[in-house]
Amino acid sequence: MEITLRALITLIHGMLFGAFFLMAIYGLVVELFRSAYVGQPSNLSSKVYSLERFYLICTVGLGWAAVLTGAYIIYPWYRAVPPAGVTDLALYPRFLLKSSATTAAWHDLGMEWKEHIAWIAPIAMTMVAYILTKGRLSLRTHPQVRTAVLVFALVALGAAGVAGFFGAMLNKYAPINGGTTIHLKGKSQ
Amino acid sequence: MNPPQPQSEERTATQGGEPLANGPAGAAILSAGVGCSVLGILAVAGDASKAVAKLLTFYLPTGPLSGVSSLAILLWLVTWFILARRWRTKTVAIAKINATAFLLLALGILLTFPPFADFLQGK
């Protein structure tokens, strides 16, 4: 059982940073809806508030880690240009996708959309986390601030969902590979 | 050592009996909208013009995406910093700020959607 370094980093980008970011936003959206309709204000200990702050900081950190690793580590591998004469495009995912009419749209729509919309999620979530940690207290007395927080959190969920979906599909049709092979289990070739 | 005091949203909604100013929240909301719209505008600009794409290539292996994302983040943070300083103690018209921020956010999302960007460029 082996994995290449590039595949491992792509896995960390998608399955660790991206997927956990998506799950964390989903949890936050559920909590925002719950707190919007709760009758009595919550009476929480300062420890719970600290945990909530930690959750929000981790969420934002995951989002930024996902987009930064994606744009500055994985994307350069994805868009690498094959040298003249190379016919095996396995190490050049963008060109591999564009080489066939049946897969070209995964790049033209999928990657072109993913590479930009993904950035909206951490921007939105940074704002949401800031308001919930620094100014959360005005949410009950300022329902319009709560609305903005909820809308931006929902947009972040959608943006991260689009990026995650296309990321998974792109890696299915043109996986990122190459680099050192890491031997995990069994006999190496 | 005193035990941690319970906090409630009602208690912390005020500070010394005065309602908390919504200015800092308004600054965060509006600047996030600005950041998202700048992202979309630069993405289309980079796609439409090779000269702009070249200018936006801050890091060659990543291409124009490096400039699009860096400039969007920079403008978002600068806007946030300026607005936060100006509105630190102020109560702002949050409904108008929300409407503007949602509009900017929608613009940003729309401009990152390739079929819409292609339509704008007549492709």
Nearest to B19 among A136, A141, A152 (CB): A141
Measured distance CA(A91)–CA(B20) in Å, rounded: 55
The answer to whether position B2 is within a domain reads no
Does residue A53 surpass a pLDDT of 90? yes
pTM, two decimal places: 0.91
**Using one digit for the tens of pLDDT, what is the confidence trace for A73-115?**
999 999 999 999 898 999 999 999 999 999 999 999 999 999 9
Q: How many domains does chain B have?
A: 1
Q: Residue B14 phi/psi, 5° resolution?
A: -125, 160
Residue pLDDT, tens place only, A109-136: 999 999 999 999 999 999 999 999 986 5
Mean pLDDT of A164-170: 97
Residues 29-68 of B with CB under 8 A from A: 29, 31-32, 35-36, 39-40, 43, 59, 61-63, 65-66, 68
Mean pLDDT of A37-56: 84
The answer to the question of residue B97 being in a domain is yes
Which tokens hold the place of B88?
């630190």
Whole-number average pLDDT of chain A:
92
Question: Is the residue at B16 inside a domain?
Answer: no
Q: Which contacts qualify for A153-156: CB closer than 8 Å, 24 or more apart?
A: A153/A25, A153/A28, A153/A29, A153/A32, A153/A124, A153/A125, A153/A128, A154/A29, A155/A120, A155/A121, A155/A124, A155/B105, A155/B109, A156/A25, A156/A63, A156/A120, A156/A121, A156/A122, A156/A124, A156/A125, A156/A128
pLDDT of amino acid B18: 55
In a domain, B25, yes or no: yes
A134/B39 CB distance under 8 A: no
What pLDDT was estimated at residue A150? Answer: 96
Residue A149's nearest CA partner among B102, B48, B78, B51 is B102
**B79 occurs within a structural domain:** yes
Q: Are strands A43-44 and B18-19 parallel, antiparallel or unpaired?
A: unpaired
> For the residues B15-42, what does the mean pLDDT come to?
87
Domain of B95, in residue numbers: 21-120
Query: Is B14 inside a domain boundary?
Result: no
